[in-house]
């Protein structure tokens, strides 16, 4: 089993070790301003705001809110520093990539601000058991309708509790992708699809085995 590398969002913090704090802050500010410009370019008639919060586990979290001019509905979405860095360094159209998350929220209908974080372990467990895991299992199996996909909770020595998914038809080599439960919650709280990184990992597994 391998754990999807999205689980290591705090790699950015480790890589930043030894870099002067002033340089890190300039990088964060530049990323934030680039992201704002990208979203304002795509949503030029709407109001776009954003802020950067420092999470003790994931480092800087970049959150943005769009208030649609027609109708006044508000939509919010968050991004990890690592993925924003990668996008602005490697993606030919970062604005298109960022805007796609908001367009998905808008297509779903209604207003979508960031969810309230669970206030206790019981609330976090209920969020995992009743909302996130059932949704992920359904989304993963719908993505691969012609495959028998194993989806279940497991305990990983390095990452703790994880949701793992894999193809039962693949018996040799790596056939499972896993994501820590805390990362599933983080994606949910940022209005991001928690199933997406697992689905991406499963596609990589299929490519490794020559199935794509």
CB atoms within 10 A of CB 12: 20
Summarised one tens digit per residue, pLDDT across range 40-53 is 999 999 999 999 99
The DSSP code sequence of 142-206 is HHSTTS-EEEEEEEETTTEEEEEEEETT--SS--EEEEEHHHHHHHHHTT--TTHHHHHHHHHHH
Q: Are 16 and 212 in contact (CB under 8 A)?
A: no
Average pLDDT, the chain: 89
Which tokens is 124 given? Answer: 């976090």
CA dist 13 to 10, 18, 80, Å? Answer: 5, 10, 11
Supply the Cα-derived Rg of the chain in whole angstroms: 18
Determine the average pLDDT of the residues in 175-195.
Answer: 94
Spatial contact of 128 and 136, defined as CB atoms under 8 Å apart: no
Q: Note the pTM of the prediction, 2 decimals.
A: 0.87
Q: For 70-81, what is the mean pLDDT?
A: 92
What's the mean pLDDT in 16-33? 85
Which positions ≥6 away from 106 have C-beta within 8 Å?
A: 68, 73, 75
Q: What is the mean pLDDT of residues 203-211?
A: 84
Q: What is the predicted pLDDT for the residue at 174?
A: 77
Helices vs. strands in the chain: H and E counts, helices first: 8, 7
Residue 30 has pLDDT above 70, yes or no: yes
The pLDDT tens digits for 5-18 are: 444 444 444 455 56
For 159-188, letters b (16+ CB in 10 Å) and e give beebbbbbbeebeeeebbbbbbbbbbbbbb
**122-174 residue pLDDT tens:** 999 999 999 999 999 999 999 999 889 999 999 988 888 999 999 888 777 77
């Amino acid at each position: 089993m391998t754990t999807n590398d999205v689980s290591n969002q705090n790699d950015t913090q480790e890589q930043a070790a030894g870099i002067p704090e002033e340089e890190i802050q300039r990088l964060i500010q530049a990323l934030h301003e680039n992201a704002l410009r990208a979203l304002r370019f795509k949503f030029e008639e709407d109001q776009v705001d954003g802020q950067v919060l420092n999470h003790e586990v994931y480092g800087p979290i970049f959150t943005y809110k769009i208030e649609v001019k027609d109708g006044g509905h508000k939509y919010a979405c968050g991004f990890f520093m690592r993925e924003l860095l990668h996008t602005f360094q490697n993606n030919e159209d970062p604005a298109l990539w960022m805007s796609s998350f908001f367009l998905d929220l808008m297509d779903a209908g209604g207003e979508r601000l960031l969810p309230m974080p669970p206030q206790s372990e019981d609330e976090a467990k209920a969020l995992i058991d009743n909302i996130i895991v059932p949704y992920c299992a359904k989304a993963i199996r719908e993505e691969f309708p012609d495959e028998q996909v194993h989806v279940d909770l497991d305990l990983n020595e390095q990452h703790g509790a994880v949701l793992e998914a894999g193809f039962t038809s693949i018996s040799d080599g790596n056939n499972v992708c896993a994501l820590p439960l805390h990362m599933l919650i983080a994606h949910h709280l940022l209005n991001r699809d928690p199933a997406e990184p697992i689905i991406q990992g499963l596609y990589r597994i299929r490519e490794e085995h020559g199935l794509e």
